[in-house]
Chains A and B, each alone.
Chain A
Amino acid sequence: MIAYRIDRRSGVATYLQIVQQTRQALRLGLLEPGDKLPTAREVVEATAVNPNTVLKAYRELEREGLVEARRGLGTFVRRTLGPDADTGPLQAELAEWAARARKAGLGREDVAALCTAVLDSTYPEGEDR
């Protein structure tokens, strides 16, 4: 059974943390289709988080098609989150770009800050696809 860890000081909304951690578990293969997610009550009891927040997260996951709620039984994983695009060429391009950035004199932290800025503008908050 997946255990959520809520970091109240991270600046990320609590329900998003639950969504992200569920996706992470799916990605790492810790959750597979047919697995049951903890009931909202169990999550609340373990994390002392507002029940609404948990419901919101589960609804979000349901909207993305990752889980489905079966009345009286619980919430179950519907599909995995494997990468469906081939990342090989993308990764090679990125490595080439990183080499260029290093030659231009950018340090590791500068590159990380640039990447974060680009990610923020490409994937605005809340969107993962």
Chain B
Amino acid sequence: MSTTLNRATGPGTSAPSSPSFRTLARVVLRLHRGALLTWVAVVVLVGAGLVWLRWVGASVVLPGPLECWVGPGCGPQETVQESEMTHHIFWLDWVSVLLLALPVAVAAWAGAALTGAEQERGTAALAWTQSVSPRRWIAVKWAVAGGVLTAGASSLVLLFVWARSVPYMDGSPLDDWTDWLTFSASGPVAPALFLLALTLGAYAGLLLRRSLAALAVSAGAMFGVVQGLPLLIPHLWPTERIFGWKVTAAPARAWVLSESALDAQGRPVSMSDCQYGKESLVRQCAEAKGIEGVETLFHPASHAAPLHLAETALILALTAALAFAALRLLRRRTP
């Protein structure tokens, strides 16, 4: 016996469809309005700062040859534009630190606010029972946040590279591509790190179902990644090798990984007491120890791009693995 008093349109007769991606994206942006505004503010501020830095750096004109600026000075004019240059380098370095520290904050936010809070508070269930499947909800959140973060981070990276490419930097020993902060902030590694942070945080929030725990775990893990990646970078691409008697055999601007004296069997031998004096004396001393030559392993400047891309690929692979794990977790938990 039904209790209908007035069976008007039954459910489903007005051709309901799933909400479109655009609608869901709008919903997500409205839900995380605060975070969106914060991110936009950060990007705008840092971006404006980079534009200003470019202007400062472009106006630096070095009066003498570059070699005078590193090592013992050549004359009194060196100090003329030193303050401008110092400003430029100093703030640029801080921007690169920021670009690599922000992902930690993003991971914390993603864990706490993007997924953790919803799981803890039960509002995830609210979305899921308002006709969005769990996987679709997480996917849209990730895509929207990822898009916003990537766009912002990429703009900042482009501005950073532009702010660095000022005349005085060209060929300057200050332009050290092996400094991992500068290295990471000058290409797709930085935006990739933001994506990794987002995915890591989202997964932690889903797994732990508690905002505070997810915040701590994802921030800690991301910090570990950011600190640990530099150790991995040199091993991401095969090194070049030179074997001979020149102690500093690597070309200029190369990233030297190791210099070791090897004997006939290829075992490293210490040369510490042979370092001083003319080259012929050094050679005599070394031969007396049974040293066959000095092996230098290094990455020339031409390896910068491949290394960078390899690191990006590694980060994206990690991101994909975490995304897959998150989806599998959802599939296991909810129908």
Direct contact of A and B (CB under 8 A): yes
B-binding residues in A (CB < 8 A): 39-41, 50-52, 55
Is the beta-carbon distance between B5 and A41 smaller than 8 angstroms?
A: yes
Taking a contact as CB atoms under 8 Å apart, the answer to whether A50 and B3 are in contact is: yes
User: How far apart sit A52 and B2, CA to CA, in the bound complex (Å)?
Assistant: 8
Bound together, the chains give a CA A26 to CA B24 distance in angstroms of 57
Set of chain A residues within 8 Å of B6, measured between Cβ atoms? 41
Q: How far is the CA of A110 from the CA of B110 in the complex (A)?
A: 78
Q: Does B8 touch A at the CB level, under 8 Å?
A: no
Q: How far is the CB of B6 from chain A (nearest CB, A)?
A: 8
Q: Which residues of A contact B1 (CB under 8 A)?
A: 52
Enumerate chain B residues within 8 angstroms of A50, measured Cβ to Cβ. Answer: 3
Residue of B nearest to A56 (CB): B1
* Nearest CB of B to A79, in Å: 25
List of A residues within 8 angstroms of B3 by Cβ:
50-52, 55
Task: Compute how far the CA of A50 lies from the CA of B6 in the bound complex, rounded to whole angstroms.
Answer: 15
Within B1-58, which residues are at the interface with A (CB < 8 Å)?
A: 1, 3, 5-6
Closest residue of B by beta carbon distance from A51: B3
Which residues of B are found within 8 Å of A55, using beta-carbon distances?
Answer: 3, 5
Residues of A within 8 A of B5 (CB): 39-41, 51, 55
Query: A40 — which chain B residues lie within 8 A by C-beta?
Result: 5
Most buried by A among B1, B5, B6: B5
Q: List 4 additional A-B contacts (Cβ < 8 Å) besides A39-B5, A41-B6, A51-B3.
A: A40-B5, A52-B1, A52-B3, A55-B3
Give chain B residues whose Cβ lies under 8 Å from the Cβ of A51.
3, 5
Could you mark each residue 173-215 of chain B with 1 if its beta carbon is under 8 Å from any beta carbon of chain A, else 0? Answer: 0000000000000000000000000000000000000000000
Distance, CA A41 to CA B8, complexed state (A): 14
Question: How far, in Å, is A48 (CB) from chain B's closest CB?
Answer: 14
The smallest C-beta distance from B7 to any residue of chain A, in angstroms, reads 12
Contact code string B246-281 (vs A, CB < 8 Å = 1, else 0)? 000000000000000000000000000000000000
Q: List 10 A-B contacts (CB under 8 A).
A: A39-B5, A40-B5, A41-B5, A41-B6, A50-B3, A51-B3, A51-B5, A52-B1, A55-B3, A55-B5
Measured CA separation A41–B275 after assembly (Å)? 100
A94 to B62, CA, bound (A): 127
CA–CA, A71 to B110, complex, Å?
58
CA distance A50 to B1 in the complex (A): 13
Instruction: For the complex formed, measure the closest distance between the CB of B67 and the CB atoms of chain A, giving whole angstroms.
Output: 91
**A14 to B304 alpha-carbon distance, docked (Å):** 84
Chain B residues near A39 (CB, 8 Å)?
5
Looking across the interface, which residue of chain A has its beta carbon closest to that of B3?
A: A51
> What are the nearest 9 A-B pairs in CB distance?
A51-B3, A52-B3, A40-B5, A41-B5, A51-B5, A52-B1, A50-B3, A55-B5, A39-B5
A41 contacts across to B, CB distance below 8 A: 5-6
CA distance A52 to B1 in the complex (A): 8
Taken together as a complex, chains A and B put the C-alpha atoms of A94 and B150 apart, in Å, by: 95
Residue of B nearest to A39 (CB): B5
Distance in angstroms between the alpha carbons of A34 and B1 in the assembled complex: 30
**What is the CA–CA distance of A41 and B1 in the complex, to the nearest angstrom?**
17
Closest residue of chain A to B2 (Cβ to Cβ) is A52
Q: How far is the CA of A50 from the CA of B4 in the complex (A)?
A: 11
Across the interface, name the chain A residue whose C-beta is closest to B6.
Answer: A41
A50 to B2, CA, bound (A): 11
A52 to B3, CA, bound (A): 6
B58 to chain A, nearest CB (A): 74
A101 to B6, CA, bound (A): 55
Give min CB distance, B321 to chain A, whole Å: 54
Nearest-CB residue, chain B, relative to A54: B5
Min Cβ gap A62→B in Å is 15
Alpha-carbon distance between A40 and B6 when the two chains are bound, in angstroms: 10
Task: Give complex CA distance A39, B5 in Å.
Answer: 9
- Distance A38 CA – B247 CA, assembled complex (angstroms): 103
Q: How far is the CA of A39 from the CA of B1 in the complex (A)?
A: 19
A41 nearest CB neighbor, chain B only: B5
Cα distance, A55 to B3, chains bound together (Å): 9
How long is the Cα–Cα vector from A16 to B3 in the complex, in angstroms?
18
Closest to A50 in B: B3
